[in-house]
């Protein structure tokens, strides 16, 4: 049963509450060793992340004396503002929010400070507690750590457990199972088999299939060129097109939100979707009152290799106070604030210990175990300096195939040719 926790009070076990108190970094007499220092932070205005950072900034100021002055912008405006500041050499920001796909664009030109030296001074157990794939996907570039992850998510399969029970189905483990179940539900009438979208959000759906069928990494930031597995790429395209037959017509547009709403409105029995989007939409009054949330369950996407996305916090190479800036981003990602920010704002955790605690506690409506498993197996798209162009290329070619403008062989060849051109 799915009853998401976002923006609602979280009920923790006594053990969890004790953990929050014992992990608290607060001291009886604050040292205030950074009195008089001001850090300027450019932060994404994604509510869970921004709320978390503002909460921590207040505590950091109390503990250390350093003021963290926060400027928040949406992702597009943040990227533009950061690039303007870095290229212009204004030194305007000490700390910056980094989407995983921006790592190459900001790290390659030297805009970010390497964190490797700082991490070498940390307790290894503390660093090992951060989800390894989150640490790599949302913070590493060319062997250097340029950001500490603050939040992330991976796609999950949401499905109607009441319909599955009525028809004797278990969650699909392979993409063949997915299509067979979708076809049978669709044929039975009353509800479509699965909601899938096209447009700018189609790459994750194809990648879920590609990786689940044995496909290779798609990140141009990996050592060496990206070479598609032609068999996996072909089958992933064919299976995605086949599955579209069972999707409500109104989901065939650029936005994933339409597929999520179609599922939550009872029009489809399955959807591959971002957990945060499902959670946010679930608080719509019509959806809450429909009773559908009582019949939704969560599983791994078939093949168990989902697409992911996340945010990290980095330190500007031009910061006049890089050590203090690092202390702040590490402070944000401590076990205490990882759990506290989950409870306060709904920010997805990035620490193994937090997921373990949430799995053991009486949390109403948080899919800790499936999200933890998904994050442990997740991949991402390109993080190269040309990431935006590369990921757009994938969307354009996949959509061209789905819309009949290219054969599957042509689509696979077009993708590989473009990847080769980007690698030059």
Domains of the chain: 14-153+309-366 (3.40.190.10), 156-306+386-423 (3.40.190.10)
pLDDT at 79 over 70: yes
pLDDT tens profile 38-64: 999 999 998 889 999 999 999 999 999
Confidence of residue 199 (pLDDT cuts 50, 70, 90): confident
Percent residues over pLDDT 90 in the chain:
73
pLDDT at 329: 97
pLDDT at 210 over 60: yes
pLDDT at 255: 75
Please tell me the distance from the alpha carbon of residue 52 to that of residue 261, in angstroms, as a whole number. Answer: 27
Sorted by sequence, the CB contacts under 8 Å of residue 25 that are 6+ apart come out as 59, 63, 331, 334, 336, 337
Please tell me the distance from the alpha carbon of residue 165 to that of residue 111, in angstroms, as a whole number. Answer: 53
Instruction: Answer yes or no: are the C-beta atoms of 262 and 248 closer than 8 Å.
Output: yes
Which tokens go with 235?
């089958």
Higher pLDDT, 234 or 13: 234
User: CA-CA distances (angstroms) from residue 47 to 75, 319, 341, 372?
Assistant: 12, 26, 11, 21
pLDDT at 12: 43
Residue 32 φ/ψ region, left for φ over 0, alpha for ψ in the -120 to 50 degree band, beta for the rest: left
pLDDT at 30: 77
Sorted by sequence, the CB contacts under 8 Å of residue 409 that are 6+ apart come out as 234
SS3 at position 383: coil
Q: For the CA atoms of 312, 310, 382, 411, what is the dihedral angle to 10 degrees?
A: -170
What is the value of pTM for the model shown? 0.90
Sorted by sequence, the CB contacts under 8 Å of residue 209 that are 6+ apart come out as 175, 235, 236, 239, 240, 302, 303
Instruction: Answer yes or no: are the C-beta atoms of 11 and 358 closer than 8 Å.
Output: no
Higher pLDDT, 159 or 226: 159
**Beta strand extents in 222-365 (DSSP E only):** 270-273, 296-299, 308-315
pLDDT at 17 over 80: no
For 241-261, what is the mean pLDDT? 82
With tokens 């991402």, the residue in question is: 380
For 68-89, what is the mean pLDDT? 92
User: CA-CA distances (angstroms) from residue 390 to 233, 319, 342, 400, 404?
Assistant: 16, 30, 33, 15, 21
For 115-138, what is the mean pLDDT? 94
Rg for the chain, CA atoms, rounded: 22
Please tell me the distance from the alpha carbon of residue 389 to that of residue 66, in angstroms, as a whole number. Answer: 39
């Amino acid at each position: 049963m799915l009853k998401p926790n976002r923006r609602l009070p979280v009920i923790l076990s006594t053990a969890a509450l004790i953990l929050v108190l014992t992990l608290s970094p607060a001291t009886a007499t604050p040292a205030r060793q950074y009195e008089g220092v001001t850090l300027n932070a450019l932060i994404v205005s994604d509510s869970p992340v921004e709320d978390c950072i503002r909460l921590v900034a207040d505590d950091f100021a109390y503990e250390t004396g350093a003021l963290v002055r926060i400027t928040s912008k949406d992702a597009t405006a943040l990227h533009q503002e950061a690039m303007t500041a870095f290229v212009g050499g204004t030194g305007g920001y000490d700390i910056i929010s980094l989407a995983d796909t921006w790592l190459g664009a900001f790290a390659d030109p030297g805009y970010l400070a390497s964190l490797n030296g700082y991490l070498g001074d940390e307790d290894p157990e503390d660093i090992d507690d951060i989800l390894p794939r989150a640490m790599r996907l949302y913070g590493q570039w060319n062997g250097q750590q340029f950001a500490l992850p603050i939040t992330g998510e991976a796609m999950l399969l949401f499905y109607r457990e009441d319909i599955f029970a009525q028809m004797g189905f278990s969650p699909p483990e392979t993409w063949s199972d997915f299509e067979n179940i979708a076809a049978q539900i669709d044929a039975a009438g009353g509800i479509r088999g699965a909601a899938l979208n096209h447009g700018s959000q189609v790459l994750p759906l194809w990648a879920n299939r590609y990786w689940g069928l044995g496909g290779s990494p798609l990140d141009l930031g990996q050592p060496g060129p990206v070479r598609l597995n032609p068999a996996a790429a072909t089958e992933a395209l064919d299976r995605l097109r086949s599955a579209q037959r069972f999707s409500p017509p109104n989901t065939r547009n650029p936005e994933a939100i339409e597929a999520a709403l179609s599922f939550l409105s009872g029009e489809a029995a399955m959807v591959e979707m971002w957990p945060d989007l499902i959670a946010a939409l679930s608080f719509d009054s019509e959806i809450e009152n429909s009773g559908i949330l009582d019949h939704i369950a969560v599983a791994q996407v078939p093949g168990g290799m989902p697409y992911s996305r996340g945010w990290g916090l980095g330190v500007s190479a031009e910061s006049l106070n890089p050590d203090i800036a690092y202390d702040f981003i590490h402070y944000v990602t401590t076990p205490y604030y990882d759990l506290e920010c989950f409870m306060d704002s709904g920010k997805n955790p990035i620490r193994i210990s937090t997921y373990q605690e949430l799995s053991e506690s009486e949390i109403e409506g948080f899919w800790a175990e499936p999200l933890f498993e998904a994050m442990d197996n997740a991949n991402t798209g390109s993080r190269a300096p040309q990431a935006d162009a590369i990921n757009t290329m994938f969307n354009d070619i996949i959509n061209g195939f789905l819309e009949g403008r290219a054969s599957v062989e042509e689509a696979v060849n077009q993708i590989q040719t473009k990847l080769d051109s980007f690698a030059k």
